[in-house]
Amino acid sequence: MNNQKVLLSLLITYRQRKEHLETQLSWFSEQAKLGLLENIEILIVEGDRTSSQWIQTELKQPNFRYFHYPCEGIFPKTKALNLALKYAKGKLVTPFDVDLIPWENTLLRHLEMAELNPKLLLSGYRIMLDKKTIKPTNIATLVENAAIAPEDQTTALWKQLIHRERFGVLPFFQRDRLLEIGGWDENFLGWGGEDQDIIERYLADGRYFCRSPELIYLHLFHEKIEQWNETEIIAKNRQYYYQKRRILDILLNQQNENRDGT
């Protein structure tokens, strides 16, 4: 793929969730056949003790790339994302969770909208399905019976609207800006906090955050994942996030005061 033609890099981190990745790769393959991934590349980083040979066998399109990050224990999502970011060629990049499927033409619409205003960090919404895998023929029925995502429940919305906690599904970042702030903070291990942290640091230079209801992603069902989202891990990550958030708020307030005083 010509570097100049890569507009978007999807960074997929993976460990032992074959059903989800197979579903996702099937969707991408169909989109590629229709010519809808012409300016999009897919980077898969597997963080596990050994690599999965079946993934490399499945990657038949030229815009698919696979990397193996040898590790064990708690899933190092942020390290895997930074590895993918290092090799990404897209003007825009997004951390694309392995359990997400774009609904209809959401991905192309998302890319088109993100390119309209680089000052906006544009993200979407997700709806929760009760199936681990889906087929194009039953998507409509599944969507009608889907649930609202946890981040859009009342208590979470309160934090977003009143306490300015910014969250959205698949924010499309400018790659140069991500590199400027050093990518994801690798002190976050497992689930929780790393997504909000990078949003706050990314926006610190005066950009704006926006969620659009036109951008819908389907979230495939999965059970609780060992060494990923245990209560203790989540609590530790959240505590670290809020600690960093307080420091960032102080620095931003000082910058604003200095700007107002000049």
- CB distance 172 to 94 below 8 Å: yes
Where residue 1 falls among pLDDT bands split at 50, 70, 90? low
Establish how many alpha carbons lie within 13 A of residue 224's alpha carbon, considering only the half-sphere containing its beta carbon.
7
* pLDDT at 229 (0 to 100): 60
| Mean pLDDT score across all residues of the chain | 90
In a domain, 28, yes or no: yes
**Residue 98: Cβ within 10 Å count:** 19
Q: Total domain count for the chain?
A: 1
Residue 262 falls inside a structural domain: no
List, in sequence order, every residue forming a beta bridge with 65; answer none if it has no partner: 43
Could you tell me which of 44, 192, 24 has the C-alpha nearest to residue 101? 24
What average pLDDT does this structure show over 44-61?
Answer: 92
Half-sphere exposure of 96 (CA within 13 A, CB side): 28
Residue 134 lies inside a defined structural domain of this protein: yes
Note the pTM of the prediction, 2 decimals.
Answer: 0.90
Residue 261 lies in a domain: no
The Cα-based distances of 78 to 11, 106, 120, 148, 193 in angstroms read 11, 25, 23, 26, 11
User: Is position 75 within any domain?
Assistant: yes
As a whole number of angstroms, the distance between CA 55 and CA 45 comes to 10
Domain membership flag for residue 166: yes
Q: Which domain holds residue 228?
A: 3-256
CA atoms within 13 A on the CB side of 163: 11
What CATH number does residue 34 fall under?
3.90.550.10
Q: Is residue 51 included in any domain, yes or no?
A: yes
Q: Detail the DSSP E strand segments found in the chain.
A: 8-14, 40-48, 64-70, 92-95, 100-102, 120-128, 147-148, 173-174, 208-219
For residues 223 and 218, the model is more confident at 218
In a domain, 182, yes or no: yes
